[in-house]
Structure 1
């Protein structure tokens, strides 16, 4: 059954999935009219909610752009290429390459989603040039699929938020330690299931591919070769090719990082970007090489820059119109103490299609789930983790988070979404079984 199902899903998404920008426009219209039809909002009110939320993701869009270009610059260093060569020596066959990329991204995204998202895409791109016969689309889909662990890991917004003093639910539920959520037994069981099921699913999907789509990625020279001797260079060119300047700047960055850690600072998206920028400066031969790598990386950022404001507008309409709360409340109304974690999982997966930000979605669902847990006497940490895994699962068919991956890979959403849908179904069944039994 693997082959016909895989071909059916790949063909379906290839033929009917539009460009992500077209998709975000369609979702915008859908939410706009649903707010009017189901929440009794006026068109003027929905327009006001849309415009009010439109600019709420500007800083996040810049963060995503920077993490993309900085991560790409690090990938074009000799050190990273040697690391990929070492992995390629282990993953000599297409099957091993698929499993290597999937497992690597699952683990790195659990540690930090920003680092994992970029590292997985770059690893997939580089391995495609070194492993003969591997399907590039499936390789990239396997890398993106690893993103599913991010919200259940060390950078997950909901588990970290409810453990932070002063959060908006503290008066209602108190503080809940990460030992009950991220490091709780339920999350450990789900992680084990995902670490087994997802890579194996990615590997099995190879059987549905008759003719692998391959990509020959040119080996990039990190050092721009000098065509003139140092004696003939202008002073400005000497500065551009100066290793000393790059290394001194990197040393300043390392000093700032050490001071930040010494003062008790934790890992976050801004810190990951900071590390990538100065790591890139340190590992490139000179400033000119670093800037050339940045130039090469900026070709795919247009999707992030134009689509994130539209998603912010959708989130504004979902939150302000009450549509998101109504959907969450519907699932709560049909729940019991035993089924609330599972129905939290289902509702989060559905709402995530319209509110693809974990933090923004938790602001909508969190109070409703907390109240339901208290009234049903359900164990709230398990309800939170059900929400977390539902929120991440449908990211596999939501292009919002795939945009940086697609930009690095040079693919369109329709190229990988057929595979991602299959991975989502298999992984979703495994998570559901853990939540129910």
Structure 2
């Protein structure tokens, strides 16, 4: 089956090898909401079987926990909302059009889309997701105009592959949660962990760079050659967000003016300058305010800001619906002592040197069932931090191990690919063969990094 607006040739051998995996993913993996519901009942059953808690204890722990992460849920929703808005501002869209004309060969195009998407994901994960899809379409359209034949599914896979480093960057929800005063991680540890020890630790920065280089090289090696391509046959570039900016009344003139958003953006920028000048470090809130300030400075009017918000809001619903379920799961595990049981298991199978590796692998598995980085961190980080403390492993190793595992198996978990695939007009099966390469190569880098870091 091919996507609308494409011309097709025979499948390359790599795609044929991945066809059974594609079938399983599309036919048997349910929605992320169903996973969250199933996981709720699985955890409840485990609590009944492995702890002394009774049904009422489990139920109360779940119900009390549902509202336990409301501030965190808002922060995660804002990150996705603001990333989508920023990617669709006119200056960013103009930049993408300029970037779209730079590649001169197919391999350059694939690696370039990956590199730009990776850079955007390191800056802000919502931005990276949207930029990957928009840039893939832009590169394909401009290549078509120049007579350059590109395999469009490969372009989109390259764009999504950039997401494999998002949790190592500026908007990584795990490290930022640990750095935020009053967060559930700060309460567990009794202190915050600054991002200088996680996101900006030398070993994490080097690992991110090595991952980008290794995955870029791997994508270049597996890219289709010759006539074995599926081209985008039409100009499918996404139009700029439509503005409802008819100016009729004096109030409309205010809404169409740049002054209100510019003044607010400058005020927010001034606050951020003062915050950092006084020695502040990035937190979830500060990261969100930095992107809000940038958006306010880039938009031309409140009309545009409202239109971008309306366009981006459709992507936030999944977080608002699913995260309370993850909070309830965390509440169950905490109230019944299931966290301690699972922590005991990891302590029994790990050493100081191998703990990071086992935490990473388990996080990669959990990500299939809790595909949101923030949601997974809420469920798994307390367990790993407790186990790390008992083994004498630095908490930053546990935090980054969970973060690495989350971003790693996103490459074969369709939840976060869906917004990008919608922009590109493809299905998961069209890109899975290539993103599996990203999974394998990045997994080697992540595992090696955590083994080398050891207990921290």
Normalised to the residue count of structure 1, the TM-score between the two structures is: 0.78
Aligned partners of 2:153, 2:323: CA distance in 1, in Å?
A: 24
**RMSD of aligned Cα (Å):** 4.1
Is 2:136 aligned against 1:124? no
- Superposed displacement of residue 119, structure 1: 1.7
What is the aligned partner in structure 2 of residue 283 from structure 1? Answer: 298
* Residue-by-residue CA offset, 1:125-178 (whole Å, 9 max, x unaligned): 32233222766666555445444434445565766788999956879xx99887
Aligned partners of 1:185, 1:360: CA distance in 2, in Å?
A: 27
Q: How does 1:4-43 map to 2 (within 5 A)?
A: 4-43=16-55
Aligned partners of 2:64, 2:422: CA distance in 1, in Å?
A: 28
Question: Relative to structure 2, which stretch is displaced further, 251-260 or 305-314?
Answer: 251-260
Aligned partners of 2:310, 2:169: CA distance in 1, in Å?
A: 32
Q: Residues 52 and 187 from structure 1, CA distance in 2 versus in 1: closer, same or farther, beyond 3 angstroms?
A: same
Is 2:313 aligned against 1:294? no
Match of 2:322 among 297, 302, 307: 307
Asked if the contact 2:132/2:162 (under 8 Å) is kept, the reply is no
Is 2:70 aligned against 1:53? no
Q: Residues 221 and 305 from structure 1, CA distance in 2 versus in 1: closer, same or farther, beyond 3 angstroms?
A: closer
- Superposed displacement of residue 331, structure 1: 3.1
Aligned partners of 2:202, 2:291: CA distance in 1, in Å?
A: 33
What is the aligned partner in structure 2 of residue 334 from structure 1? Answer: 349
What is the aligned partner in structure 2 of residue 367 from structure 1? Answer: 386
Is 2:232 aligned against 1:216? no
What is the aligned partner in structure 2 of residue 270 from structure 1? Answer: 285
Asked if the contact 1:176/1:381 (under 8 Å) is kept, the reply is yes
* Residue-by-residue CA offset, 1:3-41 (whole Å, 9 max, x unaligned): 333333222211212222222222222222222233353
Q: Residues 332 and 400 from structure 1, CA distance in 2 versus in 1: closer, same or farther, beyond 3 angstroms?
A: farther
* Residue-by-residue CA offset, 1:308-366 (whole Å, 9 max, x unaligned): 21222223233433334433432331234443332233334345556644365332221
Aligned partners of 1:67, 1:385: CA distance in 2, in Å?
A: 19
Aligned residue pairs, count: 422
- Superposed displacement of residue 210, structure 1: 6.0
What is the aligned partner in structure 1 of residue 15 from structure 2? Answer: 3
Asked if the contact 1:318/1:354 (under 8 Å) is kept, the reply is no
Long gaps (5+) in structure 2: 1-12, 141-148
Match of 2:84 among 69, 72, 77: 72
Question: Relative to structure 2, which stretch is displaced further, 80-89 or 318-327?
Answer: 318-327
SS at match of 1:121: helix
Is 2:336 aligned against 1:321? yes
Q: Residues 198 and 332 from structure 1, CA distance in 2 versus in 1: closer, same or farther, beyond 3 angstroms?
A: farther
* Residue-by-residue CA offset, 1:76-130 (whole Å, 9 max, x unaligned): 33311221122212235564444334333434544x5xx2x12212212322332
Is 2:119 aligned against 1:99? no
Q: Residues 42 and 418 from structure 1, CA distance in 2 versus in 1: closer, same or farther, beyond 3 angstroms?
A: farther
What is the aligned partner in structure 2 of residue 191 from structure 1? Answer: 208
Long gaps (5+) in structure 1: none
SS at match of 1:131: helix
Q: Residues 129 and 337 from structure 1, CA distance in 2 versus in 1: closer, same or farther, beyond 3 angstroms?
A: closer
Aligned partners of 2:321, 2:188: CA distance in 1, in Å?
A: 33
Aligned partners of 1:165, 1:303: CA distance in 2, in Å?
A: 26
Asked if the contact 2:88/2:241 (under 8 Å) is kept, the reply is yes
Asked if the contact 2:14/2:433 (under 8 Å) is kept, the reply is no
Aligned partners of 1:300, 1:410: CA distance in 2, in Å?
A: 16
What is the aligned partner in structure 1 of residue 8 from structure 2? Answer: none
